[in-house]
Structure 1
Amino acid sequence: MAGVFGVWPGPGRHPAGGIRAFRNLEVRSTQQRTLKRERALFQIILAIHILAAVIFLGNIITTAFWKVRADKSGNLEHMAMTSRSILLADYVFTGPGIATLLVTGILLAGLSGWERFQEMWLGLSLALLFLTAFIWAGVLIPLQLRMVRLSQEGLASGSLDPAYTRTSKRWSMYGGIATLLPIIILFLMVLRP
């Protein structure tokens, strides 16, 4: 009995086995292409995640530096300008940084498998980032708005209201916490304890 090409493939073999083997190769090739695309997507999202972390951490650390310098100068114009600039930098870098870290972090965990959220370091990192976002939006931004207002009033009147100093101290305390938490997150991300 002749097979597909006129030759019987042998006992226990199907004459169309070559076609099936080709289809299996085709499926494996498609799976490999999909896997490569997923890896590339993961790497792109990871790069965005790392860039967001660098910009976010850089902004919150340098913000404290410029704030301390402005306050120590005693120059009302410099203090008012720095307060406005910190608020602007938070709207441009801190807020989008937190949002980008949350979105890309969740996407990375999803691409790695949702069970990753059960790993202590990842769950703790996510909780600390949410806490950081809460402190930033719920405490620091209102304090910064108050410092901007008080510094503008001080600039107009020629003397700084003591409320500015009290507000600045609270901002420094909560800002220190909101800076320490992302540094802890950074160590958790790298060490994965």
Structure 2
Amino acid sequence: MEYTTVKFIHLLGAVLFLGNIIVTAVWKSLADRTRNPVIIAFACRLVNVTDLAFTAFGAALVVIGGVGLFHAGGVSLSDSPHLTIGISLFAMAATLWLVGLLPLQLYMSRIAAKTVAAGETIMPDAYDKCVRLWTMLGIAATLMPVGTLWFMIAR
């Protein structure tokens, strides 16, 4: 594949991936601040939808484009420690998302949906505990790809 094409795929993936994780954190946090279970349930459901549509798809494009760039550009990891660091940070963020954030998001979505279905007007304490953990893990899972972006650009 041509270098420009794989570079486009790689950068499009980075934009979708980073853009979605940052925007999702903002609007999910704003939804939580309302304390309104209906709004929170809606936001939780959309976090899961947009994570598949944009975060996972963007990550796939990043990987596909990155592998393509290695082949098209003749890059060697042994000659590019900045790429090794960036790839490692990206892999750690993906692992954190798969093992920590995704299961937590699905659980939070179930809690919110049950709260709305029961006609409750206050989110349960279990949800608030999840929000605190989601926030801490989310900050780490956001800073790692931002670090990846830095290492990919700054050589």
TM superposition score category, shorter chain reference: over 0.9
Q: 1:139 aligns with which of 83, 100, 110?
A: 100
Could you tell me how far 1:116 is from its partner in structure 2? 3.7
Q: Summarize the alignment of residues 75-154 of structure 1 with structure 2, pairs less than 5 Å apart.
A: 75-154=36-115
Name the Cα RMSD after superposition: 1.3
Q: Tell me the secondary structure at the aligned position of residue 111 of structure 1.
A: helix
Q: Summarize the alignment of residues 11-90 of structure 1 with structure 2, pairs less than 5 Å apart.
A: 41-90=2-51
The C-alpha deviation readout for 1:136-155, integer Å capped at 9, x for no partner, is: 11111100000000101111
Q: Does 1:184 align with 2:139?
A: no
Larger radius of gyration: 1
Flag the structure with more relative contact order, 1 or 2, with Cα contacts below 8 A and sequence separation at least 6. Answer: 2
What is the rounded CA distance, in whole Å, between the counterparts of 1:80 and 1:120 in structure 2?
43
Q: 2:125 aligns with which of 156, 162, 168?
A: 162
For this pair of structures, how many residues does the alignment match?
153
Could you tell me how far 1:189 is from its partner in structure 2? 1.3
Could you tell me how far 1:104 is from its partner in structure 2? 1.2
* TM score, norm. by length of structure 1: 0.76
Gaps of 5+ in 2: none
What is the rounded CA distance, in whole Å, between the counterparts of 1:97 and 1:137 in structure 2?
15
Could you tell me how far 1:163 is from its partner in structure 2? 0.6
Moved over 4 A (4+): none
Which stretch shows the higher mean deviation, 135-144 or 104-113? 104-113
Letter in 2 for 1:80: A
What is the rounded CA distance, in whole Å, between the counterparts of 1:169 and 1:60 in structure 2?
17
Identity level (%): 34
